[in-house]
């Protein structure tokens, strides 16, 4: 659902498709609303060009904010595979939970702080541009960039988890209580309270003041509420699975198929005898690919006699796999990102095991029951 546009500090930059719509909406609302109000008497074309320049500046501002987070994360040795810009903000896909309250506070605070710094800088530039009378092509975007970065910094500084301000708050609580889970639960509660206040205010505004502004506030409140729940779940899961590796919960008795078998034989000897819906394909223990029930269904009965497993399997290059030494949390990410149910575990192309969603769930449940760290219902639909 997103477009790759490049790479900075080794972090992939992606744009979510919704951004394109927002880009148009922002350009449009600037070109027919904000800019003509600020600079009356110019041509429509001028308004649209200023609108486009400003919308691009918003894009760059959001990107700068996210890059600030990523830069600090990378410096702390935390991997950041990608940044996705979407809707009214961006998301840095930060691979793990921060290691300490100080790390988290720094990583979170740097985003709004850079937005405020950009805002201050452009406010100064705007002031110079107005003083030198440089004209609307420069003055308008400068004033817009100053304004939008102040808003961006301000919104993200709300103490509502998982916004940056909420993360700073969580770090403070974490340091105080000396427990990440307790801190996360507390900040989720605070964040929910803020979300409900926003939703309530939004509904009030829909009736009393303006439908559009009201809806917008309800939407942001709802976004905060679901965002904080999701982040709580993510923290709880990664805590439950912390320091568990794939090899500790994988199943090392893997049934695999030879690539030279016909699919008729594969159905008869494997798919009908086991309940699995997919099998790794190996040759002397080296993985060649994976074959699933879905691959077989494409073939009619008579074609199955003459078609080989090796010809229809998903080849090794396209397989999604884990290594035995990877953290189990990594497997969860791969399951949900690719919407698959099982992952072959490979050590240098040699098949050493297989891990399924239910193996992971079992590991989480055992951990919860033995250590009583978390409520069970949190994991009902991982």
**Member of 84, 156, 187, 356 binding Zn ion (CB under 5 A):** 156
**Member of 51, 101, 111, 162 binding Zn ion (CB under 5 A):** 111
Task: Rank residues 104 and 164 by Cβ distance to Zn ion and give the closer one.
Answer: 164
- Tell me the C-alpha distance between 255 and 262, whole Å: 17
- Considering the complex, what minimum distance in angstroms separates the CB of residue 44 from Zn ion? 35
- Taking CB under 5 A as the binding criterion, the range among 42-50, 103-111, 126-134, 332-340 that sits at the site for Zn ion is 103-111
Task: Rank residues 68 and 138 by Cβ distance to Zn ion and give the closer one.
Answer: 68
Task: For the segment 209-228, give every residue that binds Zn ion (CB under 5 A).
Answer: none
Task: Rank residues 164 and 192 by Cβ distance to Zn ion and give the closer one.
Answer: 164
- Taking CB under 5 A as the binding criterion, the range among 74-82, 105-113, 167-175, 342-350 that sits at the site for Zn ion is 105-113
Number of residues that bind Zn ion (CB under 5 A): 3
- Taking CB under 5 A as the binding criterion, the range among 53-61, 163-171, 275-283, 310-318 that sits at the site for Zn ion is 163-171
Task: Tell me the residue nearest to Zn ion as measured from the CB.
Answer: 111
Task: Rank residues 48 and 155 by Cβ distance to Zn ion and give the closer one.
Answer: 155
- Give the relative orientation of helices 357-371 and 211-240 as an angle to the nearest 10 degrees: 80
User: Nearest CA to 65 among 161, 147, 191, 156?
Assistant: 156
Task: For the segment 314-373, give every residue that binds Zn ion (CB under 5 A).
Answer: none
- Considering the complex, what minimum distance in angstroms separates the CB of residue 331 from Zn ion? 28
**Member of 11, 141, 164, 278 binding Zn ion (CB under 5 A):** 164
Task: Rank residues 98 and 353 by Cβ distance to Zn ion and give the closer one.
Answer: 98
* Long-range contacts of 293-296, Cβ-Cβ distance < 8 Å, separation of 24 or more: 296/263, 296/266, 296/267, 296/271
- Taking CB under 5 A as the binding criterion, the range among 29-37, 110-118, 165-173, 314-322 that sits at the site for Zn ion is 110-118
The full DSSP string for 170-200 is HHHHHHHHT-HHHHHHHHHHHHHHHHHHHHH
Asked if 104 is part of the footprint of Zn ion (rule: CB under 5 A), the reply reads: no
Cβ neighbourhood burial of 376 (10 Å; 0-12, 13-18, 19+): exposed
- CB-based contact 187:158 (threshold 8 Å): no
- Considering the complex, what minimum distance in angstroms separates the CB of residue 55 from Zn ion? 20
- Considering the complex, what minimum distance in angstroms separates the CB of residue 69 from Zn ion? 5
Task: For the segment 48-67, give every residue that binds Zn ion (CB under 5 A).
Answer: none
**Residue 40 CA: distances (Å) to CA of 32, 53, 143:** 11, 18, 15
- Considering the complex, what minimum distance in angstroms separates the CB of residue 305 from Zn ion? 58
- Considering the complex, what minimum distance in angstroms separates the CB of residue 201 from Zn ion? 23
Q: What's the 3-state SS for 77-139?
A: CCCCCEEEEECCEEEEECCCCCCCHHHHHHHHHHHHHHHHHHHHHHHHHHHHHHHCCCCHHHH
- Tell me the C-alpha distance between 142 and 126, whole Å: 5
First to last CA, the chain: 21
Specify the DSSP class assigned to residue 241.
T
User: Nearest CA to 191 among 217, 221, 218?
Assistant: 221
Q: Which residues bind Zn ion (CB under 5 A)?
A: 111, 156, 164
């Amino acid at each position: 659902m997103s477009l790759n546009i490049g790479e900075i500090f080794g972090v992939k930059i992606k744009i979510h498709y919704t951004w394109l719509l927002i880009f148009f909406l922002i350009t449009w609302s600037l070109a027919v609303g904000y800019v003509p109000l600020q600079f009356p008497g110019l041509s429509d074309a001028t308004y649209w060009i200023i609108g486009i320049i400003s919308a691009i500046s918003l894009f760059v501002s959001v990107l700068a904010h996210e890059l600030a987070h990523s830069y600090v994360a990378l410096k702390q040795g935390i991997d950041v595979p990608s940044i996705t810009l979407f809707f009214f903000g961006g998301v840095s896909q930060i691979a793990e939970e921060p290691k300490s309250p100080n790390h988290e506070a720094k990583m979170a605070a740097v985003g709004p702080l850079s937005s405020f710094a950009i805002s201050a800088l452009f406010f100064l530039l705007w002031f110079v541009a107005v003083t030198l009378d440089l004209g609307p092509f420069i003055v308008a975007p400068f004033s817009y960039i100053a304004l939008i970065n102040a808003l961006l910094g301000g919104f993200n500084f709300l103490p509502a988890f998982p916004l940056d301000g909420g993360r700073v708050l969580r770090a403070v609580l974490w340091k105080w209580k000396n427990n990440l889970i307790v801190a996360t639960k507390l900040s989720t509660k605070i964040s929910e309270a803020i979300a409900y206040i926003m939703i309530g205010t939004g509904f009030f505004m829909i009736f009393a003041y303006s439908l559009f502004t009201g809806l917008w506030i309800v939407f942001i409140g709802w976004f905060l509420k679901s965002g904080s729940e999701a982040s709580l779940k993510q923290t709880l899961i990664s805590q439950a699975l912390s320091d568990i590796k794939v090899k500790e919960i994988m199943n090392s008795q893997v049934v695999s198929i030879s690539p030279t078998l016909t699919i008729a034989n594969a159905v008869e000897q494997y798919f009908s005898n086991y309940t699995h819906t997919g099998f790794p394909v190996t040759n002397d223990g080296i993985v060649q690919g994976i074959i699933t029930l879905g691959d077989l269904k494409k073939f009619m009965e008579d074609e199955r006699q003459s078609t080989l497993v090796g010809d229809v399997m998903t080849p090794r290059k396209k397989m999604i796999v884990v290594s035995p030494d990877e953290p189990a949390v990594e497997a969860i990410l791969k399951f949900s990102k690719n919407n698959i149910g099982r992952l072959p575990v490979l050590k240098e192309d040699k098949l050493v095991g297989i891990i399924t969603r239910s193996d992971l769930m079992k590991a989480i449940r055992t951990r919860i029951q033995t250590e009583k760290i978390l409520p069970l219902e949190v994991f009902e639909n991982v």
